[in-house]
Structure 1
Amino acid sequence: MTEQGKYLPLLRRELQEYRNSLVLAPLAMAGVFIFLLALSVVFANRLTVVGNSLVEILGKNSAGRGVNITISIDEEQSAALDYPGEEPAANDPSAQEWDFGRDWTFEPQTRTAGPLDDPGAGRPVNMVLNGLHWVFLLVMLATSVNYLLGSLYNDRRDGSILFWKSMPVAEQREIAAKLLTACVLAPAIYLLASLFTQLCSAALAMAAVRRMDMSPAEVILANLDLPGLLGAQVGGMVIWVLWALPLYAWLLLCSAAARRSPLLLALAIPLALVVMEQLFLGSDHLSSAITAHVPQRSATGADSLGFYLLPPDWRTLDYTGMLGGLLVALVFLYATVRLRRYRLDV
């Protein structure tokens, strides 16, 4: 059996055991989003029909009392005003000041540079679709953390580790399969669900715009940069995995080492080390290193992990910090394999 064939059963096992959070959750999110958007399109169309009916009814009820202004200008530039209703008083200043015989000049405004004229400008539709994508990212982060904390702890708690120990599977492959599930399978599933939701959202938005008697090409497609959207989200996901790998490895280590609560262990040790560093050394290098490898959305967006509005600038990334994080992740994974081999219960 090839090396790839040895990992496929392990990956299928992870997807079966955590099907709700890794597979059904993104599909359910996509279905709910698309249903709500489709409902909003239908509901908006109903509002448009009701609004037009109300306008017609109000127009009929106000017949004879409304204001009907007709302006006619002949070739000699003289104007006539037809205003049915009360005649203005002779001494009314407004009647004397308002003179339609004066010269009027119509100067249409020139079209300002739009999103298509400036390649670096953000597209409004991209911003909206990125908002949908962020929801998937937040849910993926929560499910990944929950999966990694429980992947090695739950089978020790219920005793199923003894069954898996009887299988001819090395601990290294088991840990690698769990890490691949969190770093490859989960991001791929959530990314595909997010992209499908965004494409359906754009299509529904075009349908809504068309019902409003507007051009979908001008309103939606002109403000949508699909290559930039894909580049930002796929590139952000790659950076997410590379930078968050130390965090994921640490969560696996805590899952293999914890006797009661993996989450408490994962939070208590870093917090204690950060407090000790600040008390005894007066520095914050450890806290900066920890926060640098946690998926986040910064204020400037320059060092964001995964949450990108524009494609990430690969030239400005801190590759030294990334390499250091990967080395730390290897240390955590080695310790996880050792604990997995000898710790069989909680």
Structure 2
Amino acid sequence: MPANQTSQFITLLQREFREYKTSLFWTPIVTAVVLAVLMLGSVVLANRISVIGDTILEAMMRKGTDNVNISISIGEDGEKEITVVEVTDPDAVLLSGVGIPGVPPPPPAADAPQYRVIVEEDGTDSDAADRIREQWNFSREWTFNPGGDRRRMEEGGDDFDDLNGRELNVILSVVHGILLLILMLTSVNYLLSSLYDDRKDRSVLFWRSMPVTEWQTVLSKFVVALLCAPLIYIAISLLLQLAYVLLMMLLVSRMDQDPFEVVVGNIDFLALMLDPISGWLMTALLIAPVYAWLLFASALARRSPFLMAVTPVIALVVAEGIIFRSEIVGDAVSRHFPHVSDSTAVGFYLFGPDWMALDLLSVASGLVFAAIALAGAVWLRAHRWELN
């Protein structure tokens, strides 16, 4: 009997993926392909360092090059101009052997040491321009500022000096975050429409004629959104991140640097594989009540599952604030709703979750609420008045 129930449950999971294959399977694939093509175009076709490339360089070349802003421009007539806007690291050496006859050194920045661009007098202006083009083979205009973003990161409180060889994991986590955002949006749409659409198109009558229980049907939808779909998205995200690593290596090789030392040496591949999985495990524990509530709203709604889901929550938050002047409901919702703030995060983790900071009481109460909401969805599916 248990084996038969397991087979029935697997059949229900397969049914969900067949019916919602666009959002659960094709959406992450198309998103990953688009992101990979954009990155490939910026590295190979544009012949320049794009915004993505600048961010990559900022992470790779952070040490010893703080607060340097270099702008290079090569005109069509061979005129050259190199401007060092600011240098605060007296030991930093970014340019040498670049000939720029007739271009005076820029004035030093306030409280910064003098920085001189070395000028080679030998050779004509045309030869100097050819050397510049060969050394800086990106575009006619190129700007590099590795210090500004780092200052903003440090002001935000992130300790990037403790990354210890996984600086590029930060950039790759942004790619994973994009797919996580799409996953949550598609999951919300799937949960709100699943039970509602079964009643709307009367397919619930067919499934009631099959040897499956209402609990199996509701739980199959809950498991698909909470576990199965995230596994697909995470697998595609990991493949996309590995593709990005190869493109980073291509970018660095075009700069005549060692891609294995500059790129591979700054990636923690074990964390790259395990952080998304462990991060979603904590996410699943935290957002389980939200997903269960969406299923309950889908089973309850007559016309708009979305309004049925958000209206009671907003009404409770407003009524509590007016009557009791408290924020208990709002705080409870915020602890389980996906978000990123200065102090907390649900669903989006840069280097995996902090399990020691997990509020066990909040998790336990959320799981109890999820069980109650799922029970309500099962009861509504079995006794919905439209079918009586």
Q: Which bracket does the TM-score occupy, shorter chain normalised?
A: 0.7 to 0.9
- For residues 205 and 277 of structure 2, the distance between their equivalents in structure 1, rounded to whole angstroms, comes to 39
Detail structure 1 runs of 4+ shifted over 4 Å in the superposition. Answer: 44-47, 54-57, 117-122
- For residues 165 and 190 of structure 2, the distance between their equivalents in structure 1, rounded to whole angstroms, comes to 35
Structure 1's unaligned 5+ residue stretches are: 48-53, 60-65, 69-81, 85-116
Tell me, yes or no, if the aligned pair for 1:126 and 1:229 is still in contact at 8 Å. Answer: yes
- 1:319 paired with 2:360, answer yes
Partner of 1:136: 179
Residues 74-99 of structure 1, C-alpha deviations (whole Å, 9 max, x = no match): xxxxxxxx968xxxxxxxxxxxxxxx
Structure 2's unaligned 5+ residue stretches are: 50-73, 80-99, 103-119, 123-159
Q: How does 1:104-253 map to 2 (within 5 A)?
A: 120=163, 123-253=166-296
Q: State how many pairs are aligned.
A: 292
- CA, structure 1 residues 327+122, in 2 after alignment: closer, same or farther (shift >3 Å)? farther
What displacement does 1:329 show? 0.5
- For residues 122 and 209 of structure 1, the distance between their equivalents in structure 2, rounded to whole angstroms, comes to 17
What displacement does 1:120 show? 4.4
Matched-pair identity in %? 40
Q: How does 1:53-64 map to 2 (within 5 A)?
A: 58=78
The equivalent position to 2:44 in structure 1, one of 42, 45, 49, is: 42
The equivalent position to 1:310 in structure 2, one of 344, 347, 351, is: 351
What displacement does 1:311 show? 2.5
Tell me, yes or no, if the aligned pair for 2:226 and 2:284 is still in contact at 8 Å. Answer: yes
**Letter matched to residue 58 of structure 1:** G
RMSD: 2.9
TM-score by length of 1: 0.78
Q: Which has the larger radius of gyration?
A: 1
Tell me, yes or no, if the aligned pair for 2:283 and 2:346 is still in contact at 8 Å. Answer: yes
TM-score by length of 2: 0.69
**Letter matched to residue 156 of structure 1:** R
Partner of 1:27: 29
Residues 102-127 of structure 1, C-alpha deviations (whole Å, 9 max, x = no match): xxxxxxxxxxxxxxx96545843111
The equivalent position to 2:313 in structure 1, one of 266, 270, 277, is: 270
Tell me, yes or no, if the aligned pair for 2:165 and 2:267 is still in contact at 8 Å. Answer: no
2:352 is paired with a residue whose SS is: coil
- For residues 55 and 273 of structure 1, the distance between their equivalents in structure 2, rounded to whole angstroms, comes to 64
- For residues 221 and 266 of structure 1, the distance between their equivalents in structure 2, rounded to whole angstroms, comes to 46
Tell me, yes or no, if the aligned pair for 1:122 and 1:310 is still in contact at 8 Å. Answer: no
Q: Using CA pairs below 8 Å that are at least 6 residues apart, which structure has the higher relative contact order?
A: 1
What displacement does 1:344 show? 5.9
What displacement does 1:56 show? 11
